[in-house]
Chain A
Amino acid sequence: MNFFCALLVTNGKLVSLSPMDVVVIALYFVMVLGIGFYLKRYTNTGEEFFLAGRDMSAWIAGLSFVAANLGSLELMGWAAAAYQYGLLAAHWYWIGAIPAMLFLGIVMIPFYYISKTHSVPGYLKLRFGESSRALSAVTFGFMTVLMSGINMYSMALVLKIVLGWDIHFSIWVSSITVAAYVFLGGLLSAIFNEVLQFFLIWLGAILISVLGLIEAGGWSGMVHRIHQNFPGQDFTHLWQGLGSFSANPMGIHWTGIVFGLGFVIAFGYWTTDFLVVQRVLTAKDLRSAKMAPVIGAGFKMAVPFIVILPGLLALAVLPEKLVGAPEAAATGAYSYNEVLPLMLARYCGPGLLGLGITALIAGFMSGMAGNVSAFSTVWTYDIYRAFIRKVAPDQHYVSVGRWCTLIGVLISIGTAYLVMQFLSIMDYVQALFSFFIAPLFGTVILGMLWKRATPAGGFWGLLAGTVGSVGMWAWVKLDPSALRYIALSPDAKDMAENMYRALWSWIICVVVTVVVSLLTRPKPESELNGLVYGCTDVPKETGLTWYQRPLLWAGVVIVIFIALNIIFW
């Protein structure tokens, strides 16, 4: 995530738009606003506004699930990471996503779906009680709008660097557009636009990979050129350099990738972050809900071909060497973060350039809409209805949800301006977000799979894991030599520290939850029906042909996932 924080302000701009490009971008804004206005009439009840009527097909829920995560900073940041670290960056798309997404679809979704919860904090309320829900809802709501503001500022900065657009113009125009269509059509409008944005991201970005491969002479030609341009460095393997902390540019060991990233962080994000889980809860039936993450995993697995591959191609074909942001600021060279716009400008003429820029803007807006729609749901159901006004007509909560959308956007804009004044806030908030994900996964997974887990165990485990994570982060900040204990090596870098801190905080959460649960009285099994494995009758998938079964497609995805790891070992 640190890649996203290091964007640089320059006075110049990388590309100039033609009138045709401006028309392409303007058409996109007209379409997303039009969809919002059109869908307003279909979002009158709480179920329609907050959960899109629970009526989405597996494909729409699945594409929306993956699009909500595919923000423009994700595209820009990981293309930059690929230029800097090579194929290692693909771990965040493969082991750092695929197993967790499949686990969500096959194991966890039945409990989320059958419990008919509106949100992940809502599930914690059903399983562990109000205190766990309150802790989870407040931290999620707070962090979601902060992250949205940081992404907003970073995107405005990108548009300033690439196009020379005024930063205030970018912030306000994009925010007002997102606020308008989510205010009008709620999650239904957000999902419609996310599917549209998903298409635009792919169609705008894949051309870079296609033309780049033609120029480089295919995959083998690209590898040959990289070896020529950067002799002695390995940019094209996933696992070969992970035997020790010092043998790869990320300063990370394979245990950190497998257990920290692949297990705790990935499972924490993909199975408990309500921003993405909310999309799956909109599915029209249990089979669609199980298929949605499987479909999402299939597309997520392909994202490196539009994000990582352009970064690798840049290593092969760009005549100039890109550098880190501080060096770029000092020397006027291009920074890693500019790799995707540079590749876009290299291959795309009028019209195509507009499509590429639209893809970046669409990515930003899908991410932001995901944040504000999730914030609106959690605030309305898990804070407002739970603690402020417990009984009110459904229409009242819809109205609160709509206004929350606007308030969420305004707080995000405020955060963007705050970050503009104090850039270091970005580092702190990025770290803060990671504090909550790993312990939350520990609490939810124990709640779903272990019926002996008690309300007290769930709450104290979540709190201990979060406090433990903050404590470890503060320890390393105050005493950098503590890194040898947290990340198991003094050679570890920031990313490795994040992996291991997540792992430890998950372990703290699990240990505290287990110990406190064994010392306190469990809920009777009759109260755990629909919430916990062993106490729930998950409906059998009867009447489905073999090719309609989610488990089959999950198997196909996992086989391709293993093959990709072997091919690029």
Chain B
Amino acid sequence: MHDKGFISIWFFIGVLLTAYGVLITASGLYELVSPPLHKVVLANLHAGIWWGAVLLAIGLFYTIRFFPRKQ
């Protein structure tokens, strides 16, 4: 794949997951500070924060590992 010189698919995945991680974590933190009127079930677990963090971690790993300049 890399012989042809195009950016790895894993880099694109990393970028999108990083963006999603930032957005979803931020959204979860906002809900923590300012709880909504209508809460989802298990809102006390703050899934947005930790799932956003998981997406961010996976996203950053792929972005850095497959960053185009490193190929």
**B contact residues around A348 at 8 Å (CB):** 40, 47
Given A42-B4, A352-B48, A355-B20: 20 more A-B contacts, CB < 8 Å: A20-B23, A23-B23, A24-B24, A35-B12, A38-B7, A42-B6, A55-B1, A60-B1, A195-B9, A200-B16, A207-B47, A347-B41, A348-B47, A349-B28, A349-B31, A349-B43, A351-B24, A351-B26, A352-B24, A355-B24
Which residues, 4 to 44 on B, are CB-close (under 8 Å) to A?
4, 6-7, 9, 12-13, 15-17, 19-20, 23-24, 26-28, 31, 36, 39-43
Instruction: Tell me if A17 counts as interface (CB < 8 A to partner B).
Output: no
Q: What residue of chain B has the Cβ atom nearest to residue A204's Cβ?
A: B20
Set B6, B7, B48: member contacting A349, Cβ < 8 A: B48
CA distance A207 to B40 in the complex (A): 13
Name A residues whose Cβ lies closer than 8 Å to a Cβ of B: 18, 20, 23-24, 27-28, 31, 35, 38-39, 42, 53, 55-57, 60, 192, 195-196, 199-200, 203, 207, 211, 214-215, 284, 317, 345-352, 355
CA distance A350 to B51 in the complex (A): 12
A169 to B: closest C-beta gap in Å: 23
Q: Is the CB of B48 within 8 A of A350?
A: yes
Q: Is the CB of A215 within 8 A of B41?
A: yes
Set A192, A284, A317, A352: member contacting B47, Cβ < 8 A: A352
CA distance A284 to B4 in the complex (A): 13
**A contact residues around B3 at 8 Å (CB):** 55
Q: Is the CB of B48 within 8 A of A53?
A: no
**A contact residues around B27 at 8 Å (CB):** 18, 20, 349-352
**A contact residues around B23 at 8 Å (CB):** 20, 23-24, 27, 351
Q: What residue of chain B has the Cβ atom nearest to residue A18's Cβ?
A: B27
**A contact residues around B13 at 8 Å (CB):** 195-196, 199
Q: Is the CB of A211 within 8 A of B45?
A: yes
Set A18, A215, A355: member contacting B42, Cβ < 8 A: A215
Q: Is the CB of B45 within 8 A of A31?
A: no
Q: Using A211-B45, A349-B36, A349-B43 as known contacts, say yes or no to A53 and B16 having CB atoms under 8 A apart.
A: no
CA distance A203 to B16 in the complex (A): 12
Set B4, B20, B39, B43: member contacting A24, Cβ < 8 A: B20
Interface size on B, residues (CB 8 A): 32
B54 to A: closest C-beta gap in Å: 8
Q: Is the CB of B48 within 8 A of A351?
A: yes
- 11 example contacts (A-B, Cβ-Cβ < 8 A) are as follows A20-B24, A27-B23, A38-B7, A196-B12, A200-B16, A203-B55, A349-B36, A349-B43, A350-B27, A350-B31, A351-B48
Q: Is the CB of A31 within 8 A of B47?
A: no
A98 to B: closest C-beta gap in Å: 26
**A contact residues around B1 at 8 Å (CB):** 55-57, 60, 284
A245 to B: closest C-beta gap in Å: 38
B29 to A: closest C-beta gap in Å: 10
Q: Is the CB of B4 within 8 A of A53?
A: yes
A55 to B: closest C-beta gap in Å: 6
Q: Is the CB of A28 within 8 A of B16?
A: yes
A102 to B: closest C-beta gap in Å: 25
From A39, A55, A200, A349, residue with most partner B Cβ within 10 Å: A349
**A contact residues around B31 at 8 Å (CB):** 349-350
Q: Using A20-B23, A214-B45 as known contacts, say yes or no to A346 and B9 having CB atoms under 8 A apart.
A: no
